[in-house]
Structure 1
Amino acid sequence: MPAADALVELDVEVAPRWAFRLQSHGGRDGVLRARDGVLERLLHVEGAPVWISVRQLRRDLVVFVARSRSRDAAGEGIARMRFALGVDDDLRPFYERFRTDPLIGASLRREPWLRPARRPDPFEALAWAICEQLIESDRAAAIERRIVISFGRRCRCCGLRDLPSPPALAALAPAELCAVDLAAGRALALIRAAREVARGRVDVDPAGDHERAWRRLRTIRGIGSWTIDSLAQAGQGHHDVVPAGDLAYRKLVGRLQTGDPRARVEEAEVREYFSRYDPWAGMAALHALRAAFTRAARGLPLAA
């Protein structure tokens, strides 16, 4: 990033459209930093680095500050972080419709600010979804940290890091990703997905043609429904999408339907179960999982 006197600083005050609490922790992949109540993130807008900080001063006031080479880049960086944090999402219709629901109502009333974790760049969501396929979360986070450190971008001024760009990942050899513990099949899938995005054949932008992008990505070996669902929810803002292949949801629905804590169902059954909450199926699934954890911690049975 250029010297401080060469930067443009942009401050934006935002009143959240619905109950909101700024997260107090950073990211396990090492790109989001949290300290003293402030979130900090390095992003890149058309190659230009943008340093973003976010602080919540009051229940109804969140302040975004961006520094970059241009006002446009700073503004786009703030827009991406607003999307990632969901500060502009109006969840009142979801709350009003389901606040008395026997499964998720208590969770909604207790934590109305709960939102799915999102990424400021949809390619991040895609890349990390590929890395997180069928492995433990701790191991996936360690792989992601290694990718960021080995191939990502770092700001010498603020010390923050960003993921490697799609062209940078596309240029890697599979062996380089295997060297950071990514499985060979996933390394190939990640490189091929990066090439599709870098060459403009897949547009994963939240404003793009999502169905077309998903179809194209599904032609890549190693990218299936769970990866696409994760991209849709975490990278493109779909509240109606449930990552139905996630083991946590398959176990949750299995237990809700049978009462057996060891039961598991297939993806289709997860989607069918949460279809009653359309177009908020993804939000409902998140609250259902949170409600299950809360009740288990209290030694209570799950609601049906």
Structure 2
Amino acid sequence: MSLHKLTGTLCPIGPFEFNHALRFLAKFRPMMGQQTIEDEGLTKAFYVDGKIALFNVKSVGTPDAPEMRYSIWSEEKLTADEQKKAEDEITFFLSLSDDLRPFYQLAETDPQFMPVVGKLYGYHQVKFSLTAFENACWAILSQRNQWSIALAMKVRMAETFGSSIKVDGETHLAFPLASQLADLEADQLNEVVRNTRKTECLLSAAKAFATVDESWLREAPYEQAESWLLEIKGIGAWSASFVLLRGLGRMDHVPLDEKALLEATKRVYGRDDLTHADVQKLGEHYGEFAGYWAHYVRVAG
């Protein structure tokens, strides 16, 4: 099948250092095998208005004058509106529109954190995936489960129900959309997941996400988006905050009482006596950037 190809440019808000994002993705276990990182570029399958496509993006600028060039391959020709949607999805996934300058200004009064800023200068959070639904599925699959087993479940779901596109002889796989799972019978999904409880929760998530515009979850008042997520079977308070932060980029609210964050903060700040209350106080200094502070601490620590 002959493919259609589009090219273009994206202009991140500086500072932006793409190599930090690539290093993060290379080590991010839940998404391993779902993208290709080579020649300082990222190649990943995704959906544009429900159509399978593939993008490759590379940095051609500098951290303080950033510019990205992309190529998109698709089986069906994309309209101008669809190309704009594809650009928006890539921009959102890589958080290219995040302005880190106010965050860095706040860090200037936090001397123990400034080395982390120096190490990660220009790192914009990479979202968990291109859909919050995939993030929610991972939250369900990884609950009270070994990571290797959860990852195997996720891979089987992608292979069985997802879509793929072949470019230059290589097949690229995308995790299924909510709409691709919502109408499945429980037995069909459980044959792949092999866990009845998780199957029930995954179907609940699929039916919910299939009926919502994800842009609403990104922009609605935080409490409303959180309440909507909590209606999904298997999504509790921690999972909801996880999806809001890592899947939807809601950096204004972040759970600062996690054990993993506490341990990372101890390492970054060089203090073994820190408590959850101390982490809360450190995070509060960053206001709407508390999520970025916590993400930087976890990546560096």
TM bin, normalised by shorter chain, reads 0.7 to 0.9
Alpha carbons 1:203, 1:213 under 8 Å: kept: no
Aligned mates of 2:244, 2:106 — CA distance in 1: 23
Q: Which residue of 2 aligns with 1:223?
A: 235
Q: CA deviation at 1:114?
A: 3.0
Aligned mates of 2:144, 2:262 — CA distance in 1: 13
Q: CA deviation at 1:181?
A: 4.9
Q: Which residue of 1 aligns with 2:48?
A: 45
Question: What stretches of structure 2 of length at least 5 have no aligned partner?
Answer: none
Aligned mates of 1:205, 1:182 — CA distance in 2: 30
Classify 1:204/1:126 alpha carbon distance in 2 versus 1 (closer, same or farther; 3 Å).
farther
Classify 1:200/1:239 alpha carbon distance in 2 versus 1 (closer, same or farther; 3 Å).
closer
Q: CA deviation at 1:272?
A: 5.8
What is the DSSP-based 3-state SS (H/G/I as helix, E as strand, rest coil) of the residue aligned with 1:221?
Answer: coil
What is the DSSP-based 3-state SS (H/G/I as helix, E as strand, rest coil) of the residue aligned with 1:168?
Answer: helix
Classify 1:153/1:136 alpha carbon distance in 2 versus 1 (closer, same or farther; 3 Å).
same
Q: CA deviation at 1:103?
A: 3.8
Aligned mates of 2:281, 2:141 — CA distance in 1: 27
Alpha carbons 1:167, 1:194 under 8 Å: kept: yes
5 Å matches for 1:43-192? Answer: 43-59=46-62, 60-68=66-74, 69-70=77-78, 71-118=80-127, 119-157=129-167, 159-181=171-193, 183-192=195-204
Q: CA deviation at 1:195?
A: 0.3
Q: Which residue of 2 aligns with 1:298?
A: none
Q: Which residue of 2 aligns with 1:10?
A: 7
Aligned mates of 2:171, 2:103 — CA distance in 1: 39
Q: Which residue of 2 aligns with 1:259?
A: 272
What is the DSSP-based 3-state SS (H/G/I as helix, E as strand, rest coil) of the residue aligned with 1:52?
Answer: strand
Amino acid at match of 2:176: P
Classify 1:124/1:145 alpha carbon distance in 2 versus 1 (closer, same or farther; 3 Å).
same
Aligned mates of 2:211, 2:249 — CA distance in 1: 23
Q: Which residue of 2 aligns with 1:301?
A: none
**May I ask how many residue pairs the two structures share in their alignment?**
285
Alpha carbons 1:66, 1:75 under 8 Å: kept: no
Aligned mates of 1:273, 1:65 — CA distance in 2: 41
Aligned mates of 1:252, 1:104 — CA distance in 2: 12
What is the DSSP-based 3-state SS (H/G/I as helix, E as strand, rest coil) of the residue aligned with 2:6?
Answer: strand
Q: Which residue of 2 aligns with 1:36?
A: 39
Q: After superposing the two structures, state which structure 1 stretch, 152-161 or 16-25, moved more.
A: 16-25
Q: Which residue of 1 aligns with 2:251?
A: 239
TM-score normalized with structure 2 length: 0.80
Q: After superposing the two structures, state which structure 1 stretch, 88-97 or 73-82, moved more.
A: 73-82
* Residue number among 5, 16, 19 corresponding to 2:16 in the alignment: 19
Q: After superposing the two structures, state which structure 1 stretch, 141-150 or 235-244, moved more.
A: 235-244
Alpha carbons 2:9, 2:67 under 8 Å: kept: no
Alpha carbons 2:10, 2:69 under 8 Å: kept: yes
What is the DSSP-based 3-state SS (H/G/I as helix, E as strand, rest coil) of the residue aligned with 1:199?
Answer: coil
Question: What stretches of structure 1 of length at least 5 have no aligned partner?
Answer: 294-304
Query: Could you say what the CA RMSD is over the residues aligned between the two structures, in angstroms?
Result: 3.2
Q: CA deviation at 1:146?
A: 1.8
Q: CA deviation at 1:107?
A: 0.4
Amino acid at match of 2:73: R
Amino acid at match of 2:284: S
Amino acid at match of 2:56: S
Q: CA deviation at 1:92?
A: 0.6
Residue identity (%)? 22
Classify 1:251/1:167 alpha carbon distance in 2 versus 1 (closer, same or farther; 3 Å).
same
5 Å matches for 1:196-207? Answer: 196-200=208-212, 205-207=217-219
Classify 1:143/1:99 alpha carbon distance in 2 versus 1 (closer, same or farther; 3 Å).
farther
